[in-house]
Structure 1
Protein backbone atom coordinates (compact mmCIF):
# COMPACT_ATOMS: atom_id res chain seq x y z
CA UNK A 1 0.00 0.00 0.00
CA UNK A 2 1.30 3.43 -0.88
CA UNK A 3 0.13 6.92 0.07
CA UNK A 4 0.32 10.07 -2.03
CA UNK A 5 3.23 12.41 -1.27
CA UNK A 6 1.10 15.44 -2.18
CA UNK A 7 -2.32 14.88 -0.56
CA UNK A 8 -1.88 11.76 1.60
CA UNK A 9 -4.63 9.75 -0.13
CA UNK A 10 -4.20 6.03 -0.83
CA UNK A 11 -2.66 5.36 -4.25
CA UNK A 12 -3.56 2.64 -6.78
CA UNK A 13 -1.04 0.51 -8.68
CA UNK A 14 -1.37 0.90 -12.45
CA UNK A 15 1.14 -0.60 -14.96
CA UNK A 16 4.28 -0.14 -12.85
CA UNK A 17 3.34 3.23 -11.37
CA UNK A 18 1.47 4.41 -8.31
CA UNK A 19 -1.37 6.79 -9.15
CA UNK A 20 -3.36 8.93 -6.72
CA UNK A 21 -7.08 8.83 -7.45
CA UNK A 22 -7.61 12.08 -5.56
CA UNK A 23 -5.05 14.53 -7.01
CA UNK A 24 -3.50 12.57 -9.92
CA UNK A 25 0.05 12.49 -8.52
CA UNK A 26 2.10 9.56 -9.92
CA UNK A 27 5.39 7.92 -9.03
CA UNK A 28 7.10 4.74 -10.23
CA UNK A 29 6.52 1.53 -8.26
CA UNK A 30 9.61 0.52 -6.32
CA UNK A 31 11.23 -2.88 -6.31
CA UNK A 32 9.25 -5.36 -4.16
CA UNK A 33 12.46 -6.39 -2.40
CA UNK A 34 12.57 -3.03 -0.60
CA UNK A 35 9.37 -4.08 1.24
CA UNK A 36 10.55 -7.60 2.07
CA UNK A 37 11.61 -8.34 5.65
CA UNK A 38 14.76 -10.45 5.81
CA UNK A 39 15.42 -13.08 8.49
CA UNK A 40 18.05 -10.82 10.08
CA UNK A 41 15.58 -7.92 10.30
CA UNK A 42 12.87 -10.12 11.80
CA UNK A 43 15.22 -11.51 14.46
CA UNK A 44 16.37 -7.99 15.39
CA UNK A 45 12.76 -6.92 16.01
CA UNK A 46 12.09 -9.56 18.71
CA UNK A 47 11.74 -7.95 22.13
CA UNK A 48 12.54 -10.11 25.13
CA UNK A 49 10.22 -9.82 28.11
CA UNK A 50 11.52 -9.99 31.65
CA UNK A 51 8.24 -11.50 32.82
CA UNK A 52 7.56 -8.52 35.09
CA UNK A 53 4.27 -6.69 34.84
CA UNK A 54 3.73 -2.96 34.86
CA UNK A 55 0.26 -3.19 36.41
CA UNK A 56 -0.29 -1.14 39.58
CA UNK A 57 -0.78 -2.89 42.91
CA UNK A 58 -3.51 -2.17 45.48
CA UNK A 59 -5.14 -3.48 48.66
CA UNK A 60 -7.82 -5.97 47.62
CA UNK A 61 -8.90 -9.18 49.33
CA UNK A 62 -8.56 -12.26 47.12
CA UNK A 63 -11.71 -14.42 47.32
CA UNK A 64 -9.64 -17.59 46.75
CA UNK A 65 -6.68 -17.40 49.13
CA UNK A 66 -7.41 -14.37 51.34
CA UNK A 67 -4.27 -12.47 50.26
CA UNK A 68 -4.71 -8.70 50.67
CA UNK A 69 -2.64 -7.48 47.67
CA UNK A 70 -3.62 -7.55 43.99
CA UNK A 71 -2.60 -6.10 40.66
CA UNK A 72 -5.41 -4.22 38.92
CA UNK A 73 -6.47 -2.74 35.59
CA UNK A 74 -9.63 -1.27 34.08
CA UNK A 75 -11.26 -2.30 30.81
CA UNK A 76 -14.31 -1.12 28.87
CA UNK A 77 -16.30 -4.33 28.27
CA UNK A 78 -19.83 -2.95 28.04
CA UNK A 79 -21.29 -0.14 25.95
CA UNK A 80 -19.55 3.23 25.96
CA UNK A 81 -22.15 4.82 28.25
CA UNK A 82 -21.42 2.26 31.00
CA UNK A 83 -18.51 2.58 33.42
CA UNK A 84 -15.35 0.52 33.03
CA UNK A 85 -14.91 -2.81 34.83
CA UNK A 86 -12.04 -3.21 37.31
CA UNK A 87 -10.09 -6.45 37.11
CA UNK A 88 -7.85 -7.76 39.90
CA UNK A 89 -5.11 -10.40 39.85
CA UNK A 90 -3.98 -11.81 43.20
CA UNK A 91 -0.24 -11.35 43.79
CA UNK A 92 -0.11 -14.66 45.68
CA UNK A 93 -2.24 -17.23 43.80
CA UNK A 94 -2.84 -15.25 40.55
CA UNK A 95 -6.62 -15.71 40.84
CA UNK A 96 -8.41 -13.18 38.62
CA UNK A 97 -11.73 -11.54 39.50
CA UNK A 98 -13.67 -8.45 38.50
CA UNK A 99 -15.59 -5.69 40.22
CA UNK A 100 -18.41 -3.79 38.51
CA UNK A 101 -19.90 -0.47 39.55
CA UNK A 102 -23.46 -0.85 40.79
Structure 2
Protein backbone atom coordinates (compact mmCIF):
# COMPACT_ATOMS: atom_id res chain seq x y z
CA UNK A 1 0.00 0.00 0.00
CA UNK A 2 1.39 3.37 -0.98
CA UNK A 3 0.37 6.58 0.69
CA UNK A 4 1.55 10.04 -0.27
CA UNK A 5 1.98 13.19 1.78
CA UNK A 6 -0.80 15.73 1.10
CA UNK A 7 1.64 18.60 1.77
CA UNK A 8 4.54 17.88 -0.57
CA UNK A 9 3.53 14.68 -2.46
CA UNK A 10 6.38 12.52 -1.15
CA UNK A 11 5.82 8.86 -0.40
CA UNK A 12 5.04 8.09 3.24
CA UNK A 13 7.19 5.53 5.01
CA UNK A 14 6.05 3.04 7.64
CA UNK A 15 7.34 3.67 11.14
CA UNK A 16 6.56 2.55 14.65
CA UNK A 17 5.34 5.39 16.85
CA UNK A 18 4.88 5.59 20.62
CA UNK A 19 1.45 3.96 20.70
CA UNK A 20 0.83 2.54 17.23
CA UNK A 21 2.20 2.13 13.76
CA UNK A 22 2.16 5.17 11.51
CA UNK A 23 3.13 6.43 8.09
CA UNK A 24 5.27 9.53 8.12
CA UNK A 25 6.78 11.92 5.61
CA UNK A 26 10.57 12.24 5.61
CA UNK A 27 10.60 15.89 4.55
CA UNK A 28 7.79 17.43 6.61
CA UNK A 29 6.14 16.65 9.99
CA UNK A 30 3.03 15.01 8.43
CA UNK A 31 2.03 11.72 10.13
CA UNK A 32 -0.78 9.33 9.16
CA UNK A 33 -1.73 7.13 12.11
CA UNK A 34 -2.78 3.56 11.41
CA UNK A 35 -6.06 2.92 13.24
CA UNK A 36 -6.93 -0.51 11.83
CA UNK A 37 -5.23 -3.45 10.20
CA UNK A 38 -4.25 -2.65 6.62
CA UNK A 39 -4.00 -5.64 4.34
CA UNK A 40 -5.06 -6.42 0.83
CA UNK A 41 -4.29 -9.31 -1.48
CA UNK A 42 -4.39 -9.04 -5.21
CA UNK A 43 -3.97 -12.07 -7.41
CA UNK A 44 -2.94 -11.48 -11.01
CA UNK A 45 -5.28 -12.72 -13.69
CA UNK A 46 -3.48 -15.42 -15.64
CA UNK A 47 -3.60 -15.23 -19.39
CA UNK A 48 -5.00 -18.13 -21.31
CA UNK A 49 -2.34 -19.60 -23.54
CA UNK A 50 -2.72 -21.54 -26.74
CA UNK A 51 -1.33 -25.03 -27.09
CA UNK A 52 1.69 -24.46 -29.34
CA UNK A 53 1.74 -28.13 -30.35
CA UNK A 54 -1.73 -27.91 -31.92
CA UNK A 55 -3.77 -29.58 -29.17
CA UNK A 56 -4.92 -33.19 -29.28
CA UNK A 57 -5.27 -33.14 -33.09
CA UNK A 58 -1.49 -32.78 -33.45
CA UNK A 59 -0.94 -36.24 -31.91
CA UNK A 60 -3.35 -38.10 -34.26
CA UNK A 61 -0.91 -39.04 -37.06
CA UNK A 62 2.43 -39.40 -35.28
CA UNK A 63 4.77 -42.37 -35.03
CA UNK A 64 5.64 -44.33 -31.89
CA UNK A 65 9.13 -45.39 -30.83
CA UNK A 66 10.75 -47.36 -28.00
CA UNK A 67 11.14 -44.54 -25.48
CA UNK A 68 10.25 -45.24 -21.82
CA UNK A 69 7.83 -42.87 -20.11
CA UNK A 70 9.51 -41.12 -17.15
CA UNK A 71 6.22 -41.16 -15.22
CA UNK A 72 4.70 -44.65 -15.64
CA UNK A 73 7.67 -46.50 -17.25
CA UNK A 74 5.58 -47.63 -20.24
CA UNK A 75 8.07 -48.70 -22.90
CA UNK A 76 6.62 -46.85 -25.94
CA UNK A 77 5.88 -43.21 -26.67
CA UNK A 78 4.58 -41.13 -29.56
CA UNK A 79 6.96 -38.47 -30.81
CA UNK A 80 7.14 -35.44 -33.08
CA UNK A 81 9.86 -32.94 -33.85
CA UNK A 82 9.25 -29.21 -34.14
CA UNK A 83 11.65 -26.38 -34.91
CA UNK A 84 11.14 -24.17 -31.83
CA UNK A 85 14.34 -22.13 -32.01
CA UNK A 86 16.33 -20.57 -34.81
CA UNK A 87 17.26 -22.60 -37.88
CA UNK A 88 20.85 -23.21 -36.74
CA UNK A 89 19.61 -24.92 -33.52
CA UNK A 90 18.48 -28.57 -33.47
CA UNK A 91 14.80 -29.47 -33.51
CA UNK A 92 12.95 -30.11 -30.22
CA UNK A 93 11.54 -33.62 -29.82
CA UNK A 94 8.20 -33.88 -28.01
CA UNK A 95 7.01 -37.19 -26.57
CA UNK A 96 3.64 -38.47 -25.36
CA UNK A 97 3.21 -41.74 -23.51
CA UNK A 98 1.38 -44.47 -25.47
CA UNK A 99 -0.34 -45.63 -22.27
CA UNK A 100 -3.85 -44.13 -22.54
CA UNK A 101 -4.24 -43.90 -18.76
CA UNK A 102 -0.99 -41.92 -18.42
CA UNK A 103 -0.72 -39.64 -21.52
CA UNK A 104 2.29 -37.88 -19.93
CA UNK A 105 4.06 -35.41 -22.24
CA UNK A 106 7.73 -34.38 -22.11
CA UNK A 107 10.38 -32.96 -24.40
CA UNK A 108 14.08 -33.32 -25.10
Normalised by the shorter chain, which TM-score bucket? 0.3 to 0.5
Larger Rg: 2
Greater share of helix: 1
What TM-score does the superposition give when structure 2 sets the normalisation length? 0.43
What TM-score does the superposition give when structure 1 sets the normalisation length? 0.45
